[in-house]
Amino acid sequence: MGPTDEFELEARRRGYRCIAGVDEAGRGPLAGPVVAAAVILPTRCRLVGVDDSKQVSESERSRLYEVILRRARGVGIGVATEREIDRLNILEATRLAMRRALGSLTLAADCILIDAVVLPHLAIPSRSIIKGDTLSISIAAASIVAKVTRDRMMVEYHRIYPEYNFVAHKGYGTEEHLRRLTQHGPCAIHRRTFAPVAQLLGGSSERASLSRIGLGEPPRMNR
């Protein structure tokens, strides 16, 4: 059946008018940032094909991304870098990205629907919904915006670090990525606290690889 607007309508019946769906992309990869999106849709907004981003093809996600940006009342993007992930842990970095997404909304939300994650100490009501990206249309829309945004960031990183082929796996721990990671050692956007990267950093040959490729502050792209 796919996501519906039942959660949004329930919030409207309680008097809320700007309901933001929030989701993230990139909690699992070994490299790159975690990206969150917040999306406020109009009442009774029908977005045919919008679903959990993992259930939608890459080409269809790109098409739906444009539709969502055109039809949404508000869209916000938040990013937590790989260094913030290493410093905070992935859950807290995800929360940080979500707060940044909410903060970047041009239209302030008065109620928030979040996929699974609980955001404490918010000034407005929020609801955490397990598998929300399959149930709530605004969360599903946010999942697509976050996924497309992050994928495009990883394509840009591929141009800087072509030896890892980020364009293909987007930083996830695929067989190809692990092979290239072993061959070249971690680069500046790899997450130091994630096990495969941390294991490589523990070896002397890997330290030599790090010295060879350089590990300064990773380049930043316009977002």
pLDDT confidence bin for 44, thresholds 50/70/90: confident
Place of tokens 């859950």: 91
CB 187 within 8 A of CB 164: yes
pLDDT confidence bin for 52, thresholds 50/70/90: confident
Whether residue 81 is predicted with pLDDT greater than 90 in this model: the reply is: yes
What share of the chain has pLDDT > 70, as a percent?
A: 91
The secondary structure of residue 53, as a DSSP letter, is G
Q: Give domain limits for the chain.
A: 6-155, 163-213
Q: How many CB atoms lie within 10 A of CB 113?
A: 28
10-40 burial string, b = 16+ CB within 10 Å, else e?
ebeeeebebbbbbbbbbeebbbbbbbbbbbb
What share of the chain has pLDDT > 90, as a percent?
A: 86
What single letter denotes the amino acid at residue 190?
H
Per the DSSP assignment, residues forming a β-bridge with 136 are 4
**pLDDT for res 207:** 37
Rounded to the nearest angstrom, the gap between the alpha carbon of residue 44 and the centroid of all alpha carbons in its chain is: 26
CB 86 within 8 A of CB 192: yes
CATH of domain 6-155: 3.30.420.10
Q: pTM higher than 0.85, yes or no?
A: yes
